[in-house]
Chains A and B, each alone.
Chain A
Amino acid sequence: MGSNNKVRKMNPKLNRKAWGFVLPSIVLIIAFVFYPMIQAFITSLQTGMGNNLTFNGVANYKRLLTDSTFQKALFNTFIYLIIQVPIMILLALVISTMLNDKKLKFRGFFRTAIFMPCITSLVAYSIIFKSLFANDGLVNVLLMKLHIISDPVLWLTHPIWAKALIIIAITWRWTGYNMVFYLAGLQGIDDSVYEAADIDGANAYQKFKSITLPLLKPIILFTTINSTIGTLQLFDETVNITNGGPANATVTISQYIYNLLFKYTPNFGYAAAVSYVIVVLIVILSFIQLKVGGDKNE
């Protein structure tokens, strides 16, 4: 279908109708994303308390360089990104490969069960995680009974374990979601490809590496970018589970923006400057991922 990529000349009447289809979406997205985005940029060049804003050039952006809380938030966000996204993607891939076996019993059950976390609301899931991972919570009790640990792990109050808990929580909530995409992709791969590999005596790992991964590449790329965006905007989980604690050990950039707007005496200009950092990061990272993952074939 080479012609598919070629852009045809369209007759003007049809072209106008086509714009009619997309117009509502374009108007809405411009009005509710790009217009406020420009507003936010203008605000980011201003300073002041509440509404008494005055123009001060790039001072807010310079301030970022000396703001230790911002740097901590940036660092934390990157830790989540570097550790959590690969773990989740890999886990989702492995699960979906296992589930792709048509002879597997209870396939529907496994799939439903692993997707279930996606239907929970954040309030529910954070309350549950907080109580399960409390110092004397069920997780610690179990780990101690199994003699894996001798003292309770301070999941919520130790700087490193708190980060680990956030990573566990996000992985719990979102692995199933990514799995569904991979499952869908795997269904598009013809069984005969795997059968041929079986005849060649390929083991499971080889099949995964040389068939599954390459064929799923576009989907992996899509989910990776999606997860990256989600992680860079991470907010609800850290607010609800650890509230950024202990001592800012789990705070994220989005939460810092929220704090600047709502927890502290509001500083809209500076908050807007911080939020532009996320935008720039997302654009850069998505670009890198596209370059690395999407060696163009069209």
Chain B
Amino acid sequence: MKRKILALILAVVMVVGMTACSSNKTNTKDSGKTGTTDTKETSNKKITIWAWDESFNIVAANEAKALYQKDHPDVQVDVVTMAQDDIVAKLNTSLSSGSTEGLPDIVLVEDYKIQGYLTAYPDQFYDLSSIAKPSDFASYKTGVSVVDGKLYGIPFDSGVAATFYRKDLIEKAGYTTKDMENLTWEKYIEIGKAVKAKTGVDMCTLDPSDVGQIRMMLQSAGSWYTDANGKVDIANNQALKDAIKVYKQLVDAGITKQVSDWDQFVGAFNNGDVASVVTGCWIAPSIKKAADQSGKWAVAAFPKMAANDKSVNASSIGGAGWYVLKNVGNAETAADFLKNTFASNADLMNTLADKITLVSTLNAAANQPNYTKASDFFSGQKIFGDLAKWTGEVPSVNYGLNTYAIEDIMTEAVQAIVTNGANIDSTLKDFQVQIEAAVQQ
């Protein structure tokens, strides 16, 4: 008993000691800071940036910071890593109560989400029209950041979709890279069956809770869950019906491996369990993680839907942009930061192409050396050139305010049709009503 008490006391002493030590550290650091601010009166500018994913967005933000501080040594830039869901939760609570306490000056927001913010909290975002023009960026990207002709965000990464595939497995199944050009989903499924028969490997992953594949097909046909005016467009949406049919064929073909989250998804192709990945180009760094598969991969355009004549070989998924919060305090410095970095700096994009395989949506980046280089991992293909070309072809659609709310319900419709064989027309009619009820305000 006494021993235990002694141990407890020791533990407490250790903790307190540690606490004291580290608080000393912060104190000295703090006083150091105040010291510098005192000497240079105008130099107390500090901006904070929030973003998620320390192997991608955070790397980019830190590069931008280093670049900006070369010319502006007096500005302190804090880059903060945070889970995307956490950022959203914090923005919602803070903006809704009008409190800017602790909020960042610059925040990364996903394309699907930003319209909701700009509509709900129009006075909280800083107009960036003076530092960039929509025409500087890939045309499909800027739609989400423009409200009443004003540009509120700097587009960042391209979410351009592509078919990443295992060249070696396709060839074993008797196909060549030639067959992957101008790919249709029908052809894709045919190849998938051959791959499965010859090699035993599945063609792609399938996550029943994530209908991203359908979402991409929709955009490839210039369509969305909502129409151009933001009205729910489910029951009579031909592109949606075609997409669900393709999806059902894909599932029925028995060439998919079921996963339930991001880690299993990445694990599937890193372990060589699937022969292709059809998704946004931001997946490239994750594919490259399996160094032993170097030289076995190649990239083709997004498959179009043969049955739908509006569908093209290009689509997009994910992607985000940088936004400035107006009332936090340093909006002008923040805007200036973006102006000199993500809004204009092709050099920065060049560095990031190499570091994080960033496919930039800044038009000026296309001519940078790293964007014209061949990639060893992808069998010597000049992937950036291809991805940039497809980026230019992505049909622009209005994502509206409710993409995620609608999609959470749509997964049920898709499951009913695909798994339980429900009639597509009547199911979508039912869900039109349900979804309209769910997104009313």
Contacts and interface: CB of A to CB of B under 8 A. Distances in A.
Does a CB–CB distance below 8 Å link A and B in the complex? yes
Interface of A: 47-52, 63, 66-69, 72, 130-131, 134-135, 154, 156-157, 159, 242-248, 259, 261-268
Given A50-B119, A265-B119, A266-B92, 6 more contacts: A51-B95, A68-B409, A69-B409, A156-B260, A156-B264, A263-B404
Given A135-B259, A154-B258, A245-B411, A265 B434 contact: no
B120 A51 contact: yes
Contacts of A242: 209, 260
**Most interface-central of B121, B260, B404 (chain A CB within 10 A):** B260
B121 A69 contact: no
Given A50-B121, A245-B209, A69 B438 contact: yes
A50 B440 contact: no
Contacts of A244: 209, 408
A67 B411 contact: no
A247 B209 contact: yes
Contacts of A247: 208-209, 411-412, 414-415
B440 A63 contact: yes
Contacts of B404: 259, 263-264
B121 A265 contact: no
A266 B96 contact: yes
Interface string B174-216: 0000000000000000000000000000000001111000000
A52 B121 CA distance: 9
Contacts of A49: 116, 119-120, 401, 441
Contacts of A266: 92, 96, 116, 120
B101 interface: no
B171 to A, nearest CB: 26
B408 A157 contact: no
B85 interface: yes
13 contacts: A48-B441, A51-B96, A63-B440, A130-B261, A130-B263, A156-B261, A242-B260, A244-B408, A246-B209, A246-B260, A262-B88, A266-B120, A268-B96
Contacts of A261: 89, 92
Interface string B118-135: 011100000000000000
The 6 closest A-B pairs by CB, nearest first: A245-B209, A50-B120, A156-B260, A265-B116, A246-B208, A264-B405
Nearest to B91: A262
Nearest to A268: B96
Interface residues of B, number: 37
Contact of A243 (B89, B261, B415): B261
B285 interface: no
A89 B76 CA distance: 56
Contacts of B409: 68-69, 248
A264 B260 contact: no
Contacts of B85: 262-263
Nearest to A59: B440
A134 B257 CA distance: 12
A246 B251 CA distance: 15
A248 B261 contact: no
Contacts of B259: 135, 157
Contacts of B402: 264-265
A51 B412 contact: no
Nearest to A265: B116
A69 B208 CA distance: 17
B1 interface: no
A244 B407 CA distance: 13
A262 B94 CA distance: 11
Contact of B441 (A47, A51, A156): A47
A135 B258 contact: yes
B437 interface: yes
A263 B441 contact: no
B120 A265 contact: yes
B129 to A, nearest CB: 23
B98 interface: yes
Interface in B30-49: none
Contacts of B98: 51
A134 B264 contact: yes
Nearest to B123: A51
B189 to A, nearest CB: 21
A64 B404 CA distance: 19
Contacts of B209: 157, 242-247
A50 B96 contact: yes
A239 to B, nearest CB: 9
Contacts of A268: 96
B89 A245 contact: no
Interface in B250-287: 257-261, 263-264
B412 A264 contact: no
Given A49-B119, A156-B260, A265-B116, A246 B441 contact: no
Contacts of A157: 207-209, 258-260
B120 A263 contact: no
B119 A248 contact: no
Contacts of A159: 415
A246 B206 CA distance: 11
Contacts of B96: 50-51, 266, 268
Given A134-B260, A246-B209, A265 B88 contact: no
Contacts of B437: 63, 66-68
Nearest to B119: A49
A261 to B, nearest CB: 6
Nearest to A70: B438
Interface string B408-421: 11011011000000
A50 B95 contact: yes
A266 B117 CA distance: 9
Contact of B412 (A67, A243, A248, A263): A248
Contact of A69 (B88, B257, B408): B408
A255 B414 CA distance: 21
Contacts of A265: 116, 119-120, 401-402, 405
A9 to B, nearest CB: 44
A51 B95 CA distance: 8
Nearest to B208: A246
B38 to A, nearest CB: 39
